[in-house]
């Protein structure tokens, strides 16, 4: 299955928004340590996915 680069770019944009939302939640809210760890994990996951998607475009 071949995915067009425009579709991948849309996915990248979506993940960037989700990552930004998680970062804002971390900065703006005083929440539990477990919630902070969860958000940090999500941010790292989004960052990894974005990196992988960018590699797919370049390939």
pLDDT digits (tens, 9 = 90+) for 26-55: 888 777 888 888 889 999 999 999 999 999
When pLDDT is averaged across residues 11-31 and rounded to a whole number, the result is 88
The predicted model scores a pTM of: 0.76
Cα 39 from Cα 33, distance rounded (Å): 10
Nearest to 23 by CA among 7, 5, 47, 3: 47
Compare 4 and 50 and report the one with higher pLDDT: 50
CB of 50 closer than 8 Å to CB of 20 = no
Angle of helix 5-28 versus helix 33-58 axis, rounded to 10:
160
At 1, is the secondary structure helix, strand, or coil?
A: coil
Instruction: Kindly tell me if the per-residue pLDDT of 6 is higher than 90.
Output: no
Quick one: pLDDT band at residue 2, thresholds 50, 70, 90?
low
Q: Please state the domain count of the chain.
A: 1
State the residue range of the domain holding 20. Answer: 5-58
């Amino acid at each position: 299955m071949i995915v067009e680069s425009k579709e991948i770019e849309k996915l990248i944009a979506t993940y960037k928004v989700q990552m930004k939302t998680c970062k804002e939640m971390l900065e703006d809210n005083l929440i539990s340590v477990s919630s902070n760890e969860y958000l940090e994990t999500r941010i790292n996951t989004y960052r990894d996915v974005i990196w992988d998607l960018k590699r797919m475009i370049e390939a």
